[in-house]
């Protein structure tokens, strides 16, 4: 190895060799990766027995090519939006390429992301913004809701008293994303908060006969579950506020446009009209650990300033989805939603469209256009990403509270 070469390669390799998380991710796997940064070639051989790095070209399973100026942005503190992970750059940054055995890369994706992260020689913030919410005042129970296909048990949690508000979780996740809000003692004084798990998510069992065909969430079925929950919990007649994020942010826009008179207000987080590229074949490929891969898929959408604990919590949620659930949710987001959104009219209730600065899948420019088309208020959330209520609850709260105060005092 040549110490004078860029990238501080010796120190980087040493960090990789000592990193317990990387060792656990690699497990029994062996892979060879060609890493090309500008004009410099590094050949990495990674296994549980160790890591070998050579500066000569060798036979590799896959090659990663990152232009030197792009690598410099990846290494910045903090990196700019779209440059936080390799997959973020691969999806959005021209010149970043992956070639070779795609299956082998997908199998090694979590290891590769960890390896590249260690190049920075630093970690996420470990102090500040890591306080866990107290869930002592949160209660959970099951309800039986009637749908066109039969009776469906749904699990929901609630807390607080006052004006009603329903939280809708993102694709492939569950209501735990809202524990920071449900456990917030200030919000509990003024808001009766409810969040539920869609069938096959969290504590809600899958729909009857789920094994007979792949899970596929349609817009109609999604709406049916939402209104069934509103009825069963008794908050529909009280004109609740709706807060949804990502896939649920898109559904929140549908509710605001088509059913707005039933709600006191709608808050749509991280929603875009153009949702192409959200689905990934590796989420359902039997050769790939889907839960591990999906976590790396969504990691690049979060802000680097988020604390390590909250960042890991978001990944943990996505590592626990049932088989095909994430992909099935995206059937709504990638298939139905693009057909519905061009027909949406202005919101029939107060609407806020909020987006995190680091959400490359739903950029601030895109969200601003959503707000303009639907007559809503636009809020750009600095130092937040695609999962604001999870990755940095304290900062998200700073943006959310003024909105809730305005809605409560209307």
Run of H or E residues at 390: helix 388-391
**pTM value?**
0.94
pLDDT at 304: 94
Which among 370, 230, 265, 246 is positioned nearest to 314, based on CA atoms?
A: 246
Q: Look up residue 144 and give its DSSP letter.
A: E
Going from the N-terminus, what domains does the chain have, and what CATH number goes with each? 6-120 (3.30.1050.10), 139-408 (3.40.50.1820)
Within the chain, which residues score under 50 in pLDDT? Answer: 1-6, 129
User: What's the token pair of residue 172?
Assistant: 């492939």
User: What's the token pair of residue 334?
Assistant: 């990638």
Segment 287-329, tens digit of pLDDT: 999 989 999 999 999 999 989 999 999 999 999 999 999 999 9
User: What's the token pair of residue 99?
Assistant: 């070639």
CA distance 111 to 146: 44
Helix (H, G, I), strand (E, B) or coil at 183: coil
Bridge partners of 269? 245, 354
pLDDT at 1: 41
- Cβ neighbour number for residue 138 with a 10 Å cutoff: 18
């Amino acid at each position: 190895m040549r110490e004078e070469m860029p990238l501080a390669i010796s120190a980087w390799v040493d960090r990789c060799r000592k990193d317990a998380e990387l060792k656990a991710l690699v497990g029994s796997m062996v892979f060879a990766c060609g890493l090309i940064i500008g004009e410099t070639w590094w050949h990495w051989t990674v296994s549980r027995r160790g890591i070998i790095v050579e500066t000569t070209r060798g036979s590799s399973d896959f090659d990663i090519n990152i232009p030197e100026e792009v690598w410099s942005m990846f290494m910045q503190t903090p990196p700019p939006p779209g440059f936080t992970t390799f997959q973020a750059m691969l999806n959005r940054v021209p010149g970043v390429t992956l070639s070779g055995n795609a299956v082998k890369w997908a199998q090694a994706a979590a290891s590769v992301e960890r390896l590249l992260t260690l190049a920075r020689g630093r970690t996420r913030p470990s102090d500040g913004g890591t306080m866990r919410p107290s869930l002592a005042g949160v209660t959970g129970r099951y309800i039986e809701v009637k749908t066109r296909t039969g009776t469906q048990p749904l699990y929901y949690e609630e807390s607080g008293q006052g004006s009603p508000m329903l939280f809708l979780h993102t694709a492939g996740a569950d209501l735990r994303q809202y524990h920071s809000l449900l456990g917030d003692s200030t919000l509990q004084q003024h808001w009766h908060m409810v969040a539920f798990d869609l069938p096959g998510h969290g504590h809600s069992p899958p729909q009857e006969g789920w094994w007979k065909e792949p899970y596929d969430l349609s817009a109609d079925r999604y709406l049916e579950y939402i209104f069934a929950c509103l009825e069963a919990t008794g908050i529909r007649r009280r004109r609740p506020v709706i807060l949804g994020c990502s896939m649920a942010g898109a559904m929140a826009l549908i509710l605001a446009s088509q059913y707005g008179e039933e709600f006191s207000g709608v808050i749509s987080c991280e929603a875009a009209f153009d949702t192409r590229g959200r689905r990934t074949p590796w989420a359902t490929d039997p050769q790939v650990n889907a839960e591990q891969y999906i976590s790396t898929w969504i990691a690049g959408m979060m802000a680097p300033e988020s604390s390590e604990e909250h960042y890991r919590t978001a990944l943990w949620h996505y590592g626990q989805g049932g088989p095909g659930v994430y992909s099935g949710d995206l059937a709504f987001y990638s298939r139905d939603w693009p057909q519905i959104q061009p027909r949406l009219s202005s919101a029939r209730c107060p609407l806020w469209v909020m987006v995190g600065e680091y959400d490359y899948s739903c950029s601030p420019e895109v969200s601003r256009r959503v707000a303009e088309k639907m007559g809503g208020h636009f809020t750009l959330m600095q130092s937040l990403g695609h999962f604001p209520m999870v990755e940095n609850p304290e900062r998200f709260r700073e943006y959310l509270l003024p909105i809730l105060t305005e809605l409560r005092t209307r």
